[in-house]
Amino acid sequence: MPQLTYSGRVTEPILLPATDPHLDIRNLPKVSLHDHLDGGLRPATIIELAEAAGHELPSTDPVALGEWFRESADSGSLPRYLETFDHTIAVMQTRENLVRVAREFVEDLADDGVVYAEIRWAPEQHLQGGLTLDEAVEAVQAGLDEGVDAVEAGGRLIQVGQLITAMRHADRGMEVAELAVRHRTSGAVGFDIAGAEDGFSPARLADVFTYLAENQFPVTVHAGEAAGVDSIRDALVHGRALRLGHGVRIAEDIDVEFEAEDSQAADGGSDTEVGMVSIGQVAGWVRDRGIPLEICPSSNLQTGAVASFGEDIESHPIDLLYQTGFQVTVNTDNRLMSGVTLTGEFELLAETFDYDLDDILEFTMNAVDAAFLPLEERDALAAYVTEGFNQARG
């Protein structure tokens, strides 16, 4: 792995050809903190539910439909990307369908080796079939519970919680926050805002975040994806975010200048470049206070969130953030639209940045620490994850 250094220095990532072929990431116990319910349906399920609801799709072939979702997400066109959610949300408007989608979501996560997941969705977008906000949350919880039971019946374990999202450009923030708090003992573990980041600061919802803080209810805020460092500052100041949804553009508050290092070192003098790192005030706050970043590598490339760093995964700032000591977690965002799994994202990172089992464990433990769970449950999860990684070491 690249050398991890502090004191303002970071080595340039060394790109090695391939990850350890024996590294079976899928079977490692993993933690998923940023995964949208309406972004992770099975194509075959969408087709079946759309047919029953009379909703027209771009394709009724599961493979072709899956491909359409990925192409749309990759198209660089925001309207086309947003259209993908029209189709998933259209088939998630009844109790029966929400139960099914939530159940399958949990089963798919477990198949991918996820042992703890916080699943986010915006109940306000699922009322067109006549459900109330509470009924929608109850339906999703019933599906999540069914999924957990099915996974257990199959001999594995998974624990899940709901992150209740409010759409930041809409005006139901307080209603949704109260909904989340109402369900804190029946599945809701945290609150999130999503939607148009640029131009819709959490300051608009200041009273909502005050209410949540007064109720000690955990908050993550989508920030540092479609907007930069100022948006992250707003998430921390006005949103009182305990985690940052993406947060990846915090890297814009870090300067790295690479220069050749004097090669007369005691190790025989390999020819290396070192980066001198200077960290801005907001980035310093996020790093030094250990505020977790919910990084979604493939999604970040598709949405252009990291375009200022380059177009390829090699230039994604996740490695810079990791090496300079940020609390980085790895996530999927929208598995259907991006055509990814958490295993796949780790494989991509392992190949690109030569991460090994220890790195994957560190990312996973960061996610365990960042989970909106009581300490005792985080400790138990940490022990379970450690045990799984130890088994993988053989």
User: What does the binding site for Zn ion look like in residue numbers (CB under 5 A)?
Assistant: 333
Kindly list the strands in the beta sheet with 243-246, ordered across the sheet, starting from the edge strand earlier in the chain.
30-36, 114-121, 159-167, 188-194, 219-223, 243-246, 293-295, 328-330
| Shortest Å distance, C-beta 170 to Zn ion | 16
Task: Report how far apart, in Å, the C-alpha atoms of 8 and of each of 258, 320, 366 are.
Answer: 12, 12, 22
For 208, residues 6+ apart whose C-beta sits below 8 A from its C-beta are 166, 173, 174, 177
Q: Where are the beta strands (DSSP E) in 103-175?
A: 114-121, 159-167
225 is annotated as an active-site residue:
yes
Of 244 and 277, which CB lies nearer to Zn ion in the complex structure? 244
Kindly list the strands in the beta sheet with 9-11, ordered across the sheet, starting from the edge strand earlier in the chain.
9-11, 273-279, 254-260
Of 333 and 359, which CB lies nearer to Zn ion in the complex structure? 333
Q: Which of 118, 225, 252, 345 is catalytic?
A: 225
Alpha carbons 296 and 220: distance in angstroms, whole number: 15
Do 161 and 118 touch, CB atoms closer than 8 A? yes
| Shortest Å distance, C-beta 60 to Zn ion | 28
Do 6 and 276 touch, CB atoms closer than 8 A? no
| Shortest Å distance, C-beta 333 to Zn ion | 5
Residue 316 tokens read as 């994604």
Q: Which amino acid is at 41?
A: L
Residue 224 tokens read as 């540092």
Residue 358 tokens read as 């220890």
Task: Return the residue matching tokens 């007064």.
Answer: 214
Q: Which residues pair with 136 in a beta bridge?
A: none
Of 197 and 333, which CB lies nearer to Zn ion in the complex structure? 333
Alpha carbons 184 and 212: distance in angstroms, whole number: 12
Of 36 and 87, which CB lies nearer to Zn ion in the complex structure? 36
Of 119 and 131, which CB lies nearer to Zn ion in the complex structure? 119
Of 138 and 333, which CB lies nearer to Zn ion in the complex structure? 333
Do 119 and 37 touch, CB atoms closer than 8 A? yes
| Shortest Å distance, C-beta 15 to Zn ion | 28
Of 102 and 357, which CB lies nearer to Zn ion in the complex structure? 102
| Shortest Å distance, C-beta 12 to Zn ion | 30
Element (H, E) at 275: strand 273-279
| Shortest Å distance, C-beta 119 to Zn ion | 12
| Shortest Å distance, C-beta 304 to Zn ion | 14
Q: Which residues pair with 78 in a beta bridge?
A: none
Residue 308 tokens read as 């200022």
Catalogue the active-site residues. 225
